[in-house]
Copies of this chain bind each other. A is one copy, B any other.
Amino acid sequence: MADAQETISDRIQHQLDALTRAERQLALSILEDYPASGLGPLTALAKGANVSVPTVARMVQKLGFKGYPDFQTQLRGELRDSAKSPLAKHETWAGAAPSEHILNRFTDAVIDNIRSTLAHLNPAAFDEACALVADQSRHLYIVGGRITHTLADYLFMHMQVIRPNLTHVRSTSNTWPHYLLNANEGDVFVIFDVRRYENNTLKLAQMARARGARIVLFTDQWRSPVHRLADVSLTCRIIVPSAWDSAATTMLLVETMISAVQTLNWESTKDRMQELEEMFDSTKLFRKFT
């Protein structure tokens, strides 16, 4: 546990000169395609390096490991770390605070979430979702639950500027069935549902589906049951060191979607934004400068 710093690769390279012929052969073979070769059975590694089994066993211990399994465990640990951070991991975000400060721990977690979410996201699915949301010929319903209504709200607010023909629905409200009366085939529902998944939301999705609507779902890695009804599911990782889940990554996706949809609809949007600006100016609701 002491040496979180020095990788096995480092350690081997450092000792390379002090090694004997067979050991060097083995060492080079390990480094050859690192770390894959070291993660297989000892026998395979020996054969791959053209050395004998005892040579491998001897050298692993020489490197300071209790045995081959111990060596592998460490290798896997490195692999984990390196997968997490293509770039420098052990930087602290808020330099002025220690790395155990909640600011750094939380940010670490969120960055991890972002990385993992994007890595698993299917861009084609995302594009398809954007196209659906951008399509002004379809009425757009945006649905949020108890926690997620803020995200729904955020999306709704921006979409209001970008396109007409949309409705904000709160699944926790008991008025939502009314909205569904107006839903037609081909309309689009953007639904937010993260754990704890809400029964209302599921029912709403089922009814929307029954009316022939398309469904775009924002959910978490455990996936809301709505995903079985959805045309596109966008899955976010939401784990943070807190009693709550994080909405930051979902927010990122929502904003990205806003940006993408805006680009798709740019011709019609720019006029709408222009008008909006003018209205703000005339009402003096906002200050232009500090």
Contacts and interface: CB of A to CB of B under 8 A. Distances in A.
A178 interface: no
Contacts of A107: 114, 118, 252, 256
Q: Please tell me how many copies of the chain the complex holds.
A: 2
A interface, size bucket: 35 or more
A193 to B, nearest CB: 10
A211 B83 CA distance: 49
B154 A247 contact: yes
Contacts of A16: 223
B221 A28 contact: yes
Interface stretch (A86-94, A132-140, A179-187): A86-94
A94 B79 contact: no
Nearest to A284: B199
A103 B123 contact: yes
Given A197-B287, A223-B290, A280-B196, A120 B36 contact: no
Interface string A34-77: 11110110000000000000000000000000000000110011
A257 to B, nearest CB: 9
A197 B242 CA distance: 31
Nearest to A162: B243
Given A73-B40, A76-B39, A150-B154, A258 B284 contact: no
Nearest to A13: B120
Interface in A77-117: 77, 79-80, 83-84, 86, 90, 93-97, 101-104, 106-107, 110-111, 114-116
A126 B107 CA distance: 14
A8 interface: no
A44 to B, nearest CB: 9
Contacts of A285: 146, 198-200
Contact of A252 (B77, B83, B106, B118): B106
B34 A83 contact: yes
A119 B94 contact: yes
A246 B240 contact: no
Of A72, A80, A102, A124, chain B has the most CB atoms within 10 Å of the CB of A102
A121 B94 contact: yes
A258 B242 contact: yes
B96 A36 contact: no
9 contacts: A94-B118, A94-B119, A96-B123, A103-B126, A106-B259, A196-B280, A196-B288, A202-B287, A244-B255
